[in-house]
């Protein structure tokens, strides 16, 4: 594991080169939450009710605040494009000559990126959550909090596996940008990022929750919002673990099959 620790430290250094730019871009991520709060205030006022679906206005605002956290764990910007570029441009060959697992290397890289992001975003997060503290539930019990942390870690692994699979399509397709755009559109809707999945009709919601996207954002957010009991949280963890194993197996199979096609052109 020492070589992956080296990758982690190098990635930390790389992310801290442009600290001011990184901090500013991180801070600007919080601006859309203001428009979201105003939008849902207008929705509730227009509906003339204190509840939309199974959420009150305060819970809806809290939902979107916690969505920011869940999405931060599950989102993998430029992972798929980075993998596909390595394949298309021939950069992959340098990893094949080194005693390091390619997918393991990217896991270490992403852990470093997430670590730096949360360190740099701690101030803005604390400010936003303090201003909106009236919309948030209190601290959960210690056991529930521990399960919540595990759920977020699983959301990270789930997001990594999904994006890695899209990137590995580069072994078979020259460009994966179209797949990535399609995936991001579907994910934005089916993960609960656009709106809580509890607002969907029961039949549609039962189908949507069979897919892995809901376990990347929606369910971790509902756990943070303390809307699920302990038994339900454990069920979510088992389903997340099942999807991670399934998607991780698919990614490994694609990697093995793709190497048989790889010719190391370019670069």
The pTM (predicted TM-score) of the whole model is: 0.83
DSSP summary character for residue 204 = H
Q: How confident is the model at residue 250 (pLDDT cuts 50, 70, 90)?
A: very high
- For 50, 194, 213, 218, 267, the CA distances from 200, given in Å and listed in that order, are 18, 12, 15, 13, 47
Q: What is the pLDDT of residues 63-114, one digit of tens each?
A: 888 888 888 888 888 888 888 888 888 888 888 877 888 888 888 888 888 8
Q: Residue 19 has what pLDDT? A: 59
Per-residue pLDDT band at 193 (split at 50, 70, 90): confident
Percent of the chain with pLDDT over 70: 85
- Round to whole Å and give the CA distance between 185 and 191: 10
DSSP code at position 212: G
- Tokens encoding 257: 């099959």
Instruction: Round to the nearest angstrom and report the end-to-end CA distance of the chain.
Output: 29
Longest C-alpha distance within the chain, in Å?
64
What's the CA dihedral at 233, 203, 214, 224 to 10 degrees?
-40
For residue range 194-241, list pLDDT tens digits in order.
788 888 888 888 888 888 989 998 898 888 888 888 889 999 999 999
Q: HSE, CB side, 13 Å, CA atoms: give it for residue 253.
A: 6
What are the structural domain ranges in the chain? 2-261
185 burial level (CB within 10 Å; 0-12, 13-18, 19+): exposed
How far, in Å, CA of 30 to CA of 134, rounded? 18
140, with CB counted inside 10 A (0-12, 13-18, 19+), is middle
What is the average pLDDT value for the chain, to the nearest integer? 81
SS3 percent helix, strand, coil of the chain, rounded to 5, is: 75, 0, 20
Contacts of 225 (CB under 8 A, 6+ apart): 59, 62, 63, 66, 137
As a whole number of angstroms, the distance between CA 3 and CA 96 comes to: 15
């Amino acid at each position: 594991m020492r070589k992956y620790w080296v990758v982690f430290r190098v990635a930390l250094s790389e992310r801290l080169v442009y600290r001011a730019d990184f901090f500013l871009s991180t801070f600007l991520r919080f601006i859309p939450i203001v428009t979201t709060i105003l939008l849902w205030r207008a929705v509730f006022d227009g509906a003339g009710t204190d509840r939309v679906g199974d959420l009150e206005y305060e819970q809806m605002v809290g939902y979107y605040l916690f969505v920011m956290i869940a999405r931060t764990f599950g989102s993998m910007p430029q992972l798929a494009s980075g993998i596909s570029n390595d394949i298309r441009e021939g950069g992959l060959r340098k990893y094949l000559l080194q005693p390091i697992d390619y997918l393991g290397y990217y896991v270490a890289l992403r852990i470093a990126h997430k670590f730096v992001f949360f360190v740099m975003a701690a101030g803005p997060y604390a400010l936003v959550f303090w201003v909106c503290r009236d919309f948030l539930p209190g601290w959960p019990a210690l056991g529930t909090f521990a399960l919540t942390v595990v759920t977020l870690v699983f959301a990270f692994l789930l997001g990594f596996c999904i994006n890695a699979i899209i990137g590995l399509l580069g072994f078979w397709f020259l460009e994966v940008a179209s797949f990535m755009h399609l995936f991001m559109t579907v994910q934005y809707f089916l993960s609960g990022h656009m709106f809580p999945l509890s607002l969907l009709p029961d039949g549609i919601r039962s189908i949507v929750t069979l897919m892995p996207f809901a376990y990347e954002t929606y369910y971790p957010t509902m756990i943070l919002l303390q809307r699920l009991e302990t038994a339900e949280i454990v069920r979510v963890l088992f389903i997340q673990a099942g999807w991670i194993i399934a998607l991780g197996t698919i990614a490994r199979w694609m990697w093995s099959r793709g190497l048989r096609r790889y010719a190391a052109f370019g670069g």
